[in-house]
Amino acid sequence: MKLYFAPMTCSLSPHIVLRELELPFELIRVNNQSKCTADGRDFRTINPKGYVAALELDNGEVLTEGPAILQFLVDQVPGNTLAPAQGTWERVRLQEHLSFISSEIHGGSAPLFNADLPDTVKTMFKQKLCKRLDFLCHQLADQQYLMVTFGVADAYLFTVLQWLPVFNINIEHWPTLAAYMKGIAERPSVRSAIAAENATQPV
Ligand SMILES: N[C@@H](CCC(=O)N[C@@H](CS)C(=O)NCC(=O)O)C(=O)O
């Protein structure tokens, strides 16, 4: 498998999960501005949507969209603890978490990266995002992870919450979330994924 990624983006979550599952994979860096890949191709010929993450399977199929990639990966390794089994109620709960992270946190953060957006508009997006952080803080108040054990939803949430400093949102206002992030940052899979991404050459 090949994971097309860009550092500090949402592609970190499937990268963490590939390492958690100890699946063999190749990392291919993408320049999100020029759309060039590290091996000299136009990324849009691989993913016409033009954004990471994209997972290329050994049979040539390309899968996009974080929640789909994460669930595909966990289903490659039967019996792992990163996601409940397909067809169970707990799996539906996982999908609820992934949808929330995707639309409310990931999607809710995207406009804040837009340098052209006026500060007044950014403030509105920030206020909405902070409400979602309040909710997450409440949800994680008496549990270490979103589900029973560390899983794909945590890899995704960790990835998108890493962007908060870029928006000048101080996670210390939500001590539960700050502790959650600190714990996940110490996982070997997370440390090695971030180190591997940082070790790649800019495209
Ligand atoms: N719906 C997609 C969104 C992916 C996405 O937002 N990717 C960003 C990085 S976090 C990106 O590559 N943006 C570059 C672009 O849109 O041109 C998913 O969930 O995977």
Question: What CATH number does residue 33 fall under?
Answer: 3.40.30.10
CA 142 to ligand 1 centroid distance, Å: 32
> Is-contact 53 4, C-beta < 8 A?
yes
CB atoms within 10 A of CB 172: 7
pLDDT at residue 68, rounded to an integer: 98
CA distance 1 to 79: 21
Report the C-alpha gap between 113 and 124 in whole angstroms: 14
Question: pLDDT over 90 for what percent of the chain?
Answer: 100
Q: How many residues does the chain have?
A: 203
Q: Are residues 106 and 64 in the same domain?
A: no
Q: Identify the three-state secondary structure at position 126.
A: helix
State both tokens at 182: 């600190």
CATH number, domain with residue 126: 1.20.1050.10
Per-residue pLDDT band for 15 (boundaries 50, 70, 90) equals very high
> Is 193 within the bounds of a domain?
yes
Determine the residue of 13, 17, 47, 52 to mutate for testing ligand 1's pocket, defined as the one with the most ligand atoms within 8 A of the Cβ atom.
52
Give the number of the atom of ligand 1 that is nearest the alpha carbon of residue 67.
Answer: 19
Task: Say if residue 106 is in the same domain as residue 42.
Answer: no
Q: Residue 14: its pLDDT value, please? A: 98
Report the number of distinct structural domains present in the chain: 2
Q: pLDDT tens across 76-133, in order?
A: 999 999 999 999 999 999 999 999 999 999 999 999 999 999 999 999 999 999 999 9
Q: In angstroms, what is the span from residue 100 Cα to ligand 1's centroid? A: 16
Ligand 1 interacting residues, C-beta cut-off 6 A = 6, 9-10, 32, 50-53, 65-66, 102
Range of the domain at 151: 89-187
Task: Specify whether 93 is located in the same domain as 181.
Answer: yes
